[in-house]
Structure 1
Amino acid sequence: MLRTHTCGELTTGNLGETVTLCGWVQKSRDLGGTTFIDVRDRYGLTQLVFNTDSDATLREQSRDLGREFVIKVTGKVVERTNKNAKMATGDIEIIVSAIEVLNSAKIPPFLIEDDTDGGEELRAKYRYLDLRRNPIRNNLVMRHKLAQEVRRYLDSLDFIEVETPVLIKSTPEGARDFVVPSRMNPGEFYALPQSPQTFKQLLMVSGFDRYFQIVKCFRDEDLRADRQPEFTQIDCEMSFITQEDILNTFEGMARHLFKNVKGIELGDFPRMQYADAMRLYGSDKPDIRFGMEFVELNDVVKGKDFSVFDNAELVVGINATGAAEYTRKQLDELTEWLKRPQIGATGLIYMRHNADGTLKSSVDKFYNEDELKKWSAAFNTQPGDLVLVLAGLTDKVRKQLNELRLEMGTRLGLRDKKAYAPLWVLDFPLLEWDEETERFHAMHHPFTSPKPEDIPLLETDPKNVRANAYDMVVNGIEVGGGSIRIHDRALQSLMFKHLGFSPEEAQKQFGFLMDAFEFGAPPHGGIALGFDRLCSIFAELDSIRDVIAFPKNNSGRDVMIDSPSTIADTQLNELKIKTTV
């Protein structure tokens, strides 16, 4: 090794030792008689000293060192007179006796510091420099620890890690596939896996009753803060189990990870029906760090000649506790926020419960104080509370009120990133209707088992069939989801029928799986947890980009390596692909 120690490990226990360090120049301070240089590696910083007792040539060398030069230094560990409690090595410094420049460096395009001056696009272009900064590096160290603890926990329960193929078959369900042309089979294509779903089910048929994989998956879909075209998931499957076994196993894993990586003991892990989540929060992934549950007002407000309420399918609101001090200007701004195309509300109605106990609403023309008291009773308001109400079509208005609830939670400081509120959401609908294709699609995927008691409804009332499906949610983020799977051919064929597949289409796309079911498939189920999302929660970030070493931007591009890019005509010709402009 070129070095005897790292830049983050020396303490007063090393006083008097002669050591060799290697790293990057963080900053240099020339005070005339003395030059101080901070040298950095991924373990920390150490202060180097060149003073009047140093060799003159050595002192001149130190003055020529620029930011991000890679250096090797040898020197004696001494105690600092002005100690720095913010540094792990802040009690010592190195009196340098020899220095070697291993590589010089251009001036970096942004400061390699915790609070950098680099914008997002600039840092993405020079991601290898951004990775030198403590916040990004610490996120990746945490990601590594999280992966290690996942493996440790699952290994302790006899799960085995099995790699599944990356070049697979394209299927019509789910998001768009990334496809890969086959040179040896012109006109035919592989797909990159959106998940290893069918392979892990085949592993259950094979007798590998507890499987997991920390695996790359790919989806060609529009991007946002919590999505990337390639992402990592903790993929798991178990045989001879019930839904309860899976919930207990992976609740246990969540507790293990929070305890061993964050030092946090998770509290209760409540369970909520999908129907209740939509009714009370307007979301299948509710943030339960705070209250503001929905209150439906149809029975309270209709029939008072207020057409907005009378013509609405649903009138529903929330109680923003303690927000009655909101000014008219703030409420107008909130109304405009709701009217943005992303949310699409037509307006906002409010009622204040004033500090003196009086009630005042934006619709006093239609509702007197006695009627507003019914509103107050419905929301259980206290002096200082603000009621916010929306009206419209049920599904649409619930989504709008969910956005408003989250926004008010943020504005009122109720969404503390250091607080963790997990839950399970259970019993999702098996199918959802798609207006564009005019057919049902699987809400999760076509291998999800319906609740046994709901199977007869497939023929008569498919929209009300519940799935044996469950999602793990933390702080309003869907961390993972799974289901008990179909494990016999007859039920799987019935499912494909209700998804609009002909028997021939089902056999062509999934015949390999249905054939396997005829050779003794055990009851099985599983879950996939979004590893990037989990890492972002642990890092207390809104975006997953800074927990991924080399992420894509919102356009799906890697601006560092300029990808995707065109390829040579010779490659296209080999693949028998013709392009048009």
Structure 2
Amino acid sequence: MHRYRSHTCGELRASDVGTDVRLSGWLHNRRDLGGILFIDLRDHYGITQLVARPGTPAYEALDKISKESTVRVDGRVVSRGTENVNPDLPTGEIEVEVGEVELLGAAAPLPFTINAEDGVNEERRLEYRFLDLRRERMHRNIMLRTQVISAIRQKMSALGFNELATPILTATSPEGARDFVVPSRLHPGKFYALPQAPQQFKQLLMISGFDRYFQIAPCFRDEDARADRSPGEFYQLDVEMSFVEQEDVFQPIEKLMTELFTEFGGGREVTSPFPRIPFREAMLKYGSDKPDLRAKLELVDITDIFEGSEFKAFAGKHVRALPVPDVAAQPRKFFDQLGDYAVSQGAKGLAWVRVGEDSTLTGPIAKFLTEDNVAELTKRLSLAPGHAVFFGAGEFDEVSKIMGAVRVEAARRAGHFEENVFRFCWIVDFPMYEKDEETGKIDFSHNPFSMPQGGMEALESQDPLDILAWQYDIVCNGVELSSGAIRNHEPDIMLKAFEIAGYDHETVEREFAGMLRAFRFGAPPHGGIAPGVDRIVMLLADEPNIRETIAFPLNGNAQDLMMGAPTELDESRLKELHLTVRKPQPK
């Protein structure tokens, strides 16, 4: 028999009754029922119940061994009997009567409970991540991640893409976030950068003639954590294609996402095809460029209705309305709670009216609405008895953010929200440029490497703020999975695009020398996208925080509490790297 096991802890069935077996695993739980010990033994594959009877060496050993110790047991498979079957376990029809026990690794006192979700704080969980990963939920999440990545590789290969690797040590690049830098020992005073994304390399692969590339790519960005963004490093499905337009990129990615979320989504419905929503329409209707389409409500721009109005709360401001059917009969508490939610999102309050059975409007601001206001609102919002309307007023971006959040919350509270579905969409037609409100400077709004719609003619003849780019995002349930673009592959257009954003030709030639040189040797039109693997798994696992789907994440302060990173270097290492450390002075 094998030194440690003849079977795994998830393998034995009723057909194995009478078999002598050897199992190894962790002592998951122990129960003493009438003097008989029942032990749950756990390994990667599952749980098997062990039984040890009083007076036996196995009983004496198992009674003393601490939980989460690793043990080897020899014993015989017996039936639990019909009345004792555990239908929640694949091994629930049997148990193993233990004859011999070997302690393989004793466990110290545990910092938290492994076999229950006991509300331990995240810092402690990350400090003892090796224990946290023993929990059933965490183990399931990490295995889901493994299965998803394996499926991605298979499906991308089937779609004709080639998996190619790109460098980890590279040059710094202005891609929107801070680089992590690595000092060079051989070149004093110079630094490598860890890639924020393989952006330039994957474009160079297209110029090199590889046509369809993908990679499960590690990316490194020195940026703050969020619930859907891990600090430090993350993984993305990096994709690039040659001789394509926007729809050519959409087709394989849409097929991939539909299959992935159908296969691993636990029976939840997946939208198909994914709607294409222009950026400006998304901001007006949903208040966000990553709309949650599970919420079956839309915002309506009614600014023009209140132009010149004497109602000071709306006059001279951008005004957005949210009509909600079937809530007029709700108690005042419903409206007050939604108002409190709006305040939590940054609003000063939330104006509202409701439509009565006689189609009259009542509510806190009804008395400020003229007959013309009421008539136009009724027509524009298709109001009917039972409706309520919520209003936001202020600057465009502020109103969009607040009312976008209110839209989703109102849908949840009013029963206009779809549960257990994945609602995808493409956000398209992003503005190429935006204006800095403080400096008035024109800058790129999204991705500087994108092709402007209209090419050179648009750059030379249009107001920069009117130029759209061949840029797109893929969004699922209000989470942006990825940005992508058709790339700017023509040097003259690229130089002009950067010139509009305030970069002189010399700077662009210096910062992107490799790319521009390659573009001048016959670059194909190309485009791509890079969906975040961590976010995909987060959605599939129905986890609110991305760290729950990563085996060894950093905490919110970009620290590895388990390994103690980041660390200081001693003087010998600093000298070898030609570095001196200048710490900030205490304030």
TM-score (norm 2): 0.93
Which of residues 222, 225, 229 is equivalent to 2:224?
222
Q: Is the Cα contact below 8 Å between 1:179 and 1:190 reproduced in 2?
A: yes
Closer, same or farther in 2 for the Cα pair 1:411/1:222, shift >3 Å? farther
Which range is displaced more, 110-119 or 61-70? 110-119
Closer, same or farther in 2 for the Cα pair 1:414/1:106, shift >3 Å? farther
Closer, same or farther in 2 for the Cα pair 1:573/1:323, shift >3 Å? farther
- 1:245 aligned partner: 248
Deviations 1:199-251 (A, max 9, x none): 00100111111110001101111211011121100000011122111111110
Deviations 1:446-475 (A, max 9, x none): 211111267424554111111111111111
- 1:309 aligned partner: 314
- 2:322 aligned partner: 318
Deviations 1:252-290 (A, max 9, x none): 111121233336563331111112111111111111112
For 2:197, give the aligned amino acid: S
Per the TM alignment, residue 51 of structure 1 is displaced from its structure 2 partner at its CA by: 1.9
Whether 2:138 is the aligned partner of 1:136: answer yes
Which range is displaced more, 500-509 or 205-214? 500-509
Which of residues 506, 509, 512 is equivalent to 2:508?
506
Would you say how many aligned residue pairs link Structure 1 and Structure 2?
576
**1:550-569 equivalences in 2 (<5 Å):** 550-569=552-571
**1:44-443 equivalences in 2 (<5 Å):** 44-52=46-54, 56-81=56-81, 82-228=84-230, 229-262=232-265, 264=267, 266-268=270-272, 269-312=274-317, 314-340=318-344, 343-354=345-356, 358-367=360-369, 371-372=373-374, 374-412=376-414, 415=417, 418-435=420-437, 438-443=440-445
Give the Cα–Cα distance (whole angstroms) in 1 for the partners of residues 385 and 136 of structure 2: 46
Which range is displaced more, 102-111 or 172-181? 172-181
- 2:576 aligned partner: 574
Instruction: Give the secondary structure class of the aligned counterpart of 1:365.
Output: helix
Give the Cα–Cα distance (whole angstroms) in 2 for the partners of residues 297 and 92 of structure 1: 67
For 1:240, give the aligned amino acid: F
Give unpaired runs (5+ residues) of structure 1.
none
Deviations 1:100-149 (A, max 9, x none): 11011112111112423422221111111010011111111111111111
Give the Cα–Cα distance (whole angstroms) in 2 for the partners of residues 6 and 384 of structure 1: 60
For 1:406, give the aligned amino acid: V
Closer, same or farther in 2 for the Cα pair 1:45/1:414, shift >3 Å? farther
Which of residues 34, 46, 61 is equivalent to 2:36?
34
Give the Cα–Cα distance (whole angstroms) in 2 for the partners of residues 465 and 230 of structure 1: 33
Q: Is the Cα contact below 8 Å between 2:297 and 2:416 reproduced in 1?
A: no
TM-score (norm 1): 0.94
Q: Is the Cα contact below 8 Å between 2:240 and 2:528 reproduced in 1?
A: yes
Give the Cα–Cα distance (whole angstroms) in 1 for the partners of residues 491 and 501 of structure 2: 15
Deviations 1:173-204 (A, max 9, x none): 41111112212212211111111000001001
Per the TM alignment, residue 350 of structure 1 is displaced from its structure 2 partner at its CA by: 0.4
Per the TM alignment, residue 555 of structure 1 is displaced from its structure 2 partner at its CA by: 1.3
Closer, same or farther in 2 for the Cα pair 1:356/1:74, shift >3 Å? farther
Closer, same or farther in 2 for the Cα pair 1:114/1:236, shift >3 Å? farther
Q: Is the Cα contact below 8 Å between 1:71 and 1:103 reproduced in 2?
A: yes
Deviations 1:286-314 (A, max 9, x none): 111122211122343444521111221x1
Identity of aligned residues (%): 41
Instruction: Give the secondary structure class of the aligned counterpart of 2:380.
Output: helix
Instruction: Give the secondary structure class of the aligned counterpart of 2:7.
Output: coil
Per the TM alignment, residue 576 of structure 1 is displaced from its structure 2 partner at its CA by: 2.4
Per the TM alignment, residue 368 of structure 1 is displaced from its structure 2 partner at its CA by: 6.0
Q: Is the Cα contact below 8 Å between 1:457 and 1:464 reproduced in 2?
A: no
Instruction: Give the secondary structure class of the aligned counterpart of 1:307.
Output: coil
Which range is displaced more, 56-65 or 40-49? 56-65
Q: Please, what is the CA RMSD of the aligned residues? A: 2.1
Per the TM alignment, residue 554 of structure 1 is displaced from its structure 2 partner at its CA by: 1.4
Which range is displaced more, 359-368 or 163-172? 359-368
For 1:257, give the aligned amino acid: L
Q: Is the Cα contact below 8 Å between 1:418 and 1:540 reproduced in 2?
A: no
Give the Cα–Cα distance (whole angstroms) in 1 for the partners of residues 537 and 185 of structure 2: 38
Give the Cα–Cα distance (whole angstroms) in 2 for the partners of residues 267 and 417 of structure 1: 13
Instruction: Give the secondary structure class of the aligned counterpart of 1:456.
Output: helix
Give the Cα–Cα distance (whole angstroms) in 2 for the partners of residues 272 and 78 of structure 1: 61
Instruction: Give the secondary structure class of the aligned counterpart of 1:6.
Output: coil
Q: Is the Cα contact below 8 Å between 2:296 and 2:417 reproduced in 1?
A: no
For 2:248, give the aligned amino acid: D
Instruction: Give the secondary structure class of the aligned counterpart of 1:407.
Output: helix
- 1:480 aligned partner: 482
Which range is displaced more, 204-213 or 266-275? 266-275
